[in-house]
């Protein structure tokens, strides 16, 4: 029995599961405001891929080394596997899907024109890292490029990536768009012409 004058004992409310507060994180992805009902410690990579179906951002190492998961957070290249969504409340995130509407960002156009990818797995991260670099430094030196692009490519496309970055820099400087219309396919005859070893 409660003594008179003593404060009432606190009561523990039994809360139905549906009423348990679900953490919600809000930020903008590719210009669309999104509320994620996910634990705040969820890596941004998985929010993008699993909740937003933005699968252009890839999972490689999961420990911040390979760069396959690179996206822009407030304009800066970031490894999305290493960022908890709770840490970027209110931020602006851009993925490869949102880099340009017509795949005409100079980096994308250069990549297509020079047919950079082999398997392609690392390439969205490479392009996002390049796009962020060009935005912050339109005339990067070789050292600047090496410092900004620490992403890994298991297929060894680095020489083509270097050429594509140079092409993107030229295009961005000159304002002349790169003609990046991809060929619809290569006929065997054309392939033989293009590849001396295959000529009859």
Interface with ligand FES by CB under 6 A: which residues? Answer: 59-62, 64-69, 79, 81, 117-123, 153-155, 157
Q: With respect to ligand FES, which residue has the nearer C-beta, 66 or 168?
A: 66
In angstroms, rounded to a whole number, what is the distance separating the alpha carbons of residues 111 and 116?
5
CB of 52 to ligand FES, least distance (A): 17
Q: Measure CA 2 to chain center.
A: 61
Q: 150 or 186: whose CB is closer to ligand FES?
A: 150
Q: Which is nearer to ligand FES, 26 or 154 (CB)?
A: 154
Shortest Å, Cβ 149 to ligand FES: 12
Nearest approach in angstroms of CB 10 to ligand FES is 45
Nearer to ligand FES, 81 or 99 (CB): 81
Q: How far apart are CA 125 and CA 131, in angstroms?
A: 10
Coil, strand or helix at 34? strand
Q: Give one word for 62, left, alpha or beta, with left for phi > 0 and alpha for psi -120 to 50.
A: left
Shortest Å distance, C-beta 118 to ligand FES: 4
Handedness of CA 125, 130, 131, 133 (dihedral sign): positive
């Amino acid at each position: 029995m409660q003594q008179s004058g003593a404060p009432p004992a606190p009561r523990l409310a039994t809360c139905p599961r549906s009423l348990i507060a679900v953490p919600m994180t809000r930020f903008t992805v590719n210009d669309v405001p999104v509320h994620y009902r996910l634990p705040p410690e969820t890596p941004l990579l998985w929010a993008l891929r699993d909740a937003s179906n933005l699968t252009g951002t890839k999972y490689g190492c999961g420990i911040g080394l390979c760069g396959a998961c690179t996206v822009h957070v407030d304009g800066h290249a970031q490894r999305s596997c290493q960022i908890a969504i709770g840490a970027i409340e209110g931020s602006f995130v851009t993925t490869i899907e949102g880099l340009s509407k017509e795949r005409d960002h100079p980096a994308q156009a250069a990549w297509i024109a020079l047919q950079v990818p082999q398997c392609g797995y690392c390439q969205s991260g490479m392009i996002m890292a390049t796009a962020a670099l060009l935005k912050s430094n339109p005339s990067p030196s070789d050292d600047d490029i090496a410092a900004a692009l620490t992403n890994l490519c298991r297929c060894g496309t680095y020489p083509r990536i270097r050429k594509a970055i140079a092409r993107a820099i030229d295009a961005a400087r000159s304002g002349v768009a790169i003609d990046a219309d991809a060929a619809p396919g290569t006929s065997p005859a054309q392939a033989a012409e293009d590849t001396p070893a295959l000529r009859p």
